[in-house]
Structure 1
Amino acid sequence: MSLLKQNKIIVLILSVLIVMTVILLSFALKKDETVAKFNGEAISKDELYSEMVKQYGAATVDKIIGDKIVAAEAKKQKVNVKDTELNKEVDKLKASYGGEEAFNQALKSNNTSLALLKQDLKNYLTIKQLLEPEIKISDEELKTYFDANKDSFAQAEQIKASHILVADEKTANEVKQKLNDGGDFAKLAKEYSTDDSSKDLGGELGYFSKGTMVSEFEDVAFGLAVDQVSKPVKTEYGYHIIKVEAKKKAKEANYNESKAEIKATLFNQKIGSEYTTWLENKKKSYDIENTLEEV
């Protein structure tokens, strides 16, 4: 995904969480109250607060001020990010992580939540709408980018496939026989497959090109006709029964067909630097007092 890079989103969210933690500690602890000890020596709340402010305070306060300016400008210009648009971007993020389970694990491992992620995404999408009229991309820039990245715009042959993965050959043959007898592939995948990332989707793997899956799987899958189901295929993961749902032929890179994608990519590349300039200009229009700068 080329909105905010995922890591950047996580960093921004974590910076807010750090400040929230400091604020909560400030309310929860009395002045000079001990939060930890080292060799019997107390580490006080004030020491913790000072250290966290030194490390994260300036950047986080700048972000909060920036967010408030964005909200004020959005109100002035009647810019509004709809929930449908926000949810669409969240779905893209989930897909980029390989599914909802992996996405939720990423949130958990970064000690954040979907609500905070949505908050940051909404802010970013608002920034995009505010800056869009000010970012210009020429035809020359589009063509230069296309020529430099032509391979990425070509489409290799792809197939859309589903599979049922089981641990042993005996079970694979049982499932294959049920399919031969008219059994529903998706239902059998939900019942038998050990692939947790696809079983609840009826075994769907989506579209993929050669080089994506292990060779034993691909050699069989790319040789199947649409709607054809394979015999059990052994790989290091177990035994697969593969069904091809659809195929896409290889296509050469086409500039006209790629222009919209290139424009979106260049826009997202430019928005970072343009936002910094835009924000500094907008700060002149607001009464801002940052006492942290005086510390």
Structure 2
Amino acid sequence: MKWKIRKTNRHIITYSIIVCAVIGLFIGYGIVQSKPEVIASVNGQNINKDQLYDALVQSSGKQVLDSLISQKIVELESKKQNVVVSDADIQKEINKYYEQYGGEAGFIQALAMSGYTLDQVKKDIVDNLKVKKILEPQITITEEELKAYFEENKATFAQEKQVKASHILADSFEIANQVKQKIVNGGDFAQLAKEYSTDNGTKENGGDLGYFGSGKMAVEFEEAAFALKVGEISDPIKTEYGYHIIKLVDKKDAQEANYEQSKAEIRDALLDKKIGEEYDSWIQDLYQQYDVKNYLGQ
């Protein structure tokens, strides 16, 4: 396990995802069988599960096992210190992801695209919060540090102009136009998205894309969305993905960076940074306190 600092960009695939994927393969293939199961062949030459397991251990075994040991140490240490992570704590962190991805729909869409599950995200959050609750009381952040960080990263605390939109994606202009006419005739946009949209990442949420700024969507889509008035619905818009019916839900004007409004976010960023700096030495100290035995390779 590594301390996974919460990112402020739109990336969710991190070291932890790679670890989870390899662990899954270990669980699936790690039991040595008397008659190894064939999983592939080349010109009649078989490749079995034992060979895959051995290759995984050789390439990533130490990294994954170190992560599992660290996770277990954090679990035991948090119990020892009576550290509790509540459902409210977890939801608060998930809400931060919602903000980063422009809303719940954007976050769910990112998960669907990455192959990462919400349960895996929650597991990472719990692990991180346990570490954070243990180390935070040992860390000091001064007003001077907060102000210096703000000045050095002022551009990241400014808010660009954003819009919140929903869409229905269709394969053809004819289908998109038919859906638009259903909306004009009083049809419910969200319900029609569930029925007709081919965007599997958003259709179940009524086509909700959350908030986004410039450069985040296909050019044709973005130009159409920013040109709409709140509540207005576009004609079919063609992009490389198909034909979109866009509904503009809300607009946010650009805002300059404000220190007082950003103070809590700055403190979180500095706290994450300092915990990241302390984590390796802290976990190594705990390695010495716990009875850790590593039999990999024996």
With over 3 angstroms needed to count, the CA separation of the structure-2 counterparts of 1:153 and 1:99, relative to structure 1, is closer
Per the alignment, in what secondary structure is the counterpart of residue 227 of structure 2?
coil
* Cα distance change on mapping 1:146 and 1:90 into 2, 3 Å: closer
Partner of 2:254: 250
Higher Rg of the two aligned structures? 1
Contact 2:29–2:53 under 8 Å retained in 1 = yes
- Describe the SS at the equivalent of 1:244: strand
Size of the alignment, in residue pairs? 286
The DSSP-based 3-state class of the residue aligned with 1:162 is strand
Q: 1:3 corresponds to which letter in structure 2?
A: R
> Contact conserved, 1:19 with 1:57, CA < 8 A, in 2?
no
* TM-score with structure 1 setting the length: 0.75
SS at match of 1:24: coil
Q: Partner letter of residue 142 of structure 2?
A: S
Are 2:279 and 1:271 aligned?
no
Per the alignment, residue 234 of structure 2 pairs with 230
Q: Measure how far apart 1:66 and its partner are.
A: 2.8
In the TM superposition, residue 8 of structure 1 has moved relative to its aligned partner by 1.6
Is the Cα contact below 8 Å between 2:158 and 2:258 reproduced in 1? yes
Partner of 2:20: 13
For residue 255 of structure 1, report the CA deviation from its aligned partner.
Answer: 1.4
Q: Unmatched 5+ residue regions in structure 1?
A: none
Alignment-mate amino acid for residue 275 of structure 1: Y
RMSD over aligned Cα atoms: 4.0
CA contact (8 A) 1:99 1:197 kept: no
What is the CA–CA distance in structure 1 between the aligned matches of 2:156 and 2:234, rounded to whole Å?
31
How much does 1:227 deviate?
1.0
Per-residue deviation at 1:250? 0.9
* Equivalent residues of 1:29, 1:45 under 8 A apart: no
TM-score (norm 2): 0.75
Shift of 1:200: 2.0
Alignment of 1:180 with 2:184, yes or no, is: yes
Q: In the alignment, which of 3, 11, 16 is matched to residue 6 of structure 2? A: 3
C-alpha distance 34-227 of structure 1, shift in aligned 2 (>3 A): closer
Are 2:109 and 2:202, in contact at CA under 8 Å, matched by a contact in 1?
Answer: no
- Alignment-mate amino acid for residue 195 of structure 1: D
- Alignment of 1:216 with 2:224, yes or no, is no
* In 1, Cα distance between equivalents of 2:49 and 2:217: 52
**Matches of 1:218 and 1:45 in 2, distance apart?**
48
Instruction: Check conservation: 1:19, 1:60, Cα contact below 8 A.
Output: no
1:151 aligns with 2:182: no
Partner of 2:83: 79
**CA deviations over 1:133-165 (Å, ceiling 9, x no partner):** 122222222222222222121111111111223
Deviates more, 1:90-99 or 1:203-212: 90-99
SS of aligned partner of 2:160? coil
Matched, 1:189 2:193: yes
- For 1:1-295, what aligned pairs fall within 5 Å after superposition? 2-3=5-6, 6-14=13-21, 16-17=23-24, 20=27, 24-25=31-32, 28-29=33-34, 56=60, 58-86=62-90, 89=93, 98-100=106-108, 103-104=111-112, 106-107=114-115, 118-286=122-290, 288=291, 290=293, 292=295
